[in-house]
Structure 1
Amino acid sequence: MQVEVYVQDYYHESSAPEALQSGEKDAHITVETWEDWFECWLEILQPSISPAHTYEVGLRLTDNSEILTLNQQYRHQNKPTDVLSFAALEVDAPDVTEIDAEEPLYLGDIVISVETAQQQAQQQEHPLPTELAWLAAHGLLHLLGWDHPDDESLSQMLKQQVILLKAIGIDTDFE
């Protein structure tokens, strides 16, 4: 299995000097690392998703201003949030016979506010890359149809996120 992750790091591109001044230079996660993480996660989750030779995910790292605009537009929430997911497979996953073996199966886009992630990382007292991985895993689960309308489903989703982070070597205390 292969995963193509298209990373748009709007946040670090637009605020690189400030990020470097605040000691955030070590928080940058390479595209290769993102691809490795998503590949690992999808291998774990593959029994519950449509089989494909290649999957495709869009990941945009941004600021509170942009995620506020998206949150207003798509969720009618007038506040920034940490992560938004825009699933390409809204209804049902395609049947195996409908999948073109040559084309990647596009799962959708994940948008993460690095500003909010920084605040949450400080509150949780862990590094920013840990928070970004946590939010990306959460976003991926949403792309695959997971949701948390009640406490029980939220608990199940959080447990799955812990499994995903442990698989990439990030030990969490989020439970």
Structure 2
Amino acid sequence: MSALQTSPINLDLDLAFHPANDDALTSLVDADTKRRLTHASPWQQDLTAWIESVRRDPTLTCPEIVRLSPMLSLGLQLTDDATITELNHSWRQRSESTDVLSFPALDNSLVLPTDTCVELGDIVVSVQTAQRQAKQHSHELGLELRWLVSHGLLHLLGWDHPTDQSLKTMLSYQEQLLSINGKVHHH
């Protein structure tokens, strides 16, 4: 067992959370989902647990600075289809809505002191698209949001899915992450 597995570094996660601004939507969901749409604390708990899980497993893709740093920072924005379409067009030249976008900030060529707060980047999720997908998959919006945020997080940590096999591996690990603090999700 590696030193990381036997003596994990406690993680201090600085989360810049931008809640959903759709009052009509928040009135239509259960209390847990409403809390996820409007408060950082459930995301703080999930993201911290998910990052710690990835950091502890040396077989998983994760930049070394992320494994070693006690302080990480990332942004999470819950938005609408119009905003995510605009971002998708600006950054990916795709004039369409999408469910989640990730904007990694890590530069693996940088060598930083291990006591530096490491910025992972930003995750942006369209709540409207998530709501449609939740309905399509017959589960709660809160579960779909967790699924999408876990996907975005893995991208911030360097995961990608250019092949069917890499996508299958990534989706399988997302299910493991979701089981840490809640229901397992089968997409």
Which SS does the other structure have where 2:97 is aligned? coil
Which SS does the other structure have where 1:33 is aligned? helix
Partner of 1:32: 41
**Residue 99 (structure 1) aligned with residue 113 (structure 2):** yes
Change (3 A) 1:63 1:100: same
> Identity, % of aligned pairs?
37
Partner of 1:44: 53
Equivalent residue letter for 2:14: E
Equivalent residue letter for 2:105: A
Partner of 2:18: 8
Q: Equivalent residues in 2 for 1:118-129 (5 A)?
A: 118-129=131-142
Which SS does the other structure have where 1:68 is aligned? helix
Q: Equivalent residues in 2 for 1:1-175 (5 A)?
A: 1-9=11-19, 11=20, 13=21, 15-16=22-23, 18-21=24-27, 23-24=28-29, 26=31, 27-28=33-34, 29=36, 30-46=39-55, 47=58, 48-49=62-63, 50=65, 51-89=68-106, 91-92=107-108, 94-95=110-111, 98-99=112-113, 101=115, 103-174=116-187
TM-superposed CA distance for 1:100, in Å, is 5.2
Equivalent residue letter for 1:34: W
In structure 1, C-alpha distance between the alignment counterparts of 2:158 and 2:109, rounded to whole Å: 9
In structure 2, C-alpha distance between the alignment counterparts of 1:139 and 1:173, rounded to whole Å: 17
Equivalent residue letter for 2:163: D
Equivalent residue letter for 1:36: Q
In structure 2, C-alpha distance between the alignment counterparts of 1:93 and 1:125, rounded to whole Å: 43
Gaps of 5+ in 2: 1-10
In structure 2, C-alpha distance between the alignment counterparts of 1:94 and 1:166, rounded to whole Å: 33
In structure 1, C-alpha distance between the alignment counterparts of 2:109 and 2:30, rounded to whole Å: 39
Instruction: List structure 1 runs of 4+ shifted beyond 6 angstroms.
Output: none
Gaps of 5+ in 1: none
Which SS does the other structure have where 2:94 is aligned? coil
Aligned-residue Cα RMSD (Å) equals 1.5
TM-superposed CA distance for 1:173, in Å, is 2.1
Q: TM-score, normalised by structure 2?
A: 0.83
In structure 2, C-alpha distance between the alignment counterparts of 1:155 and 1:25, rounded to whole Å: 30
TM-superposed CA distance for 1:99, in Å, is 2.6
Q: Tell me the number of residue pairs that the alignment of Structure 1 and Structure 2 aligns.
A: 165
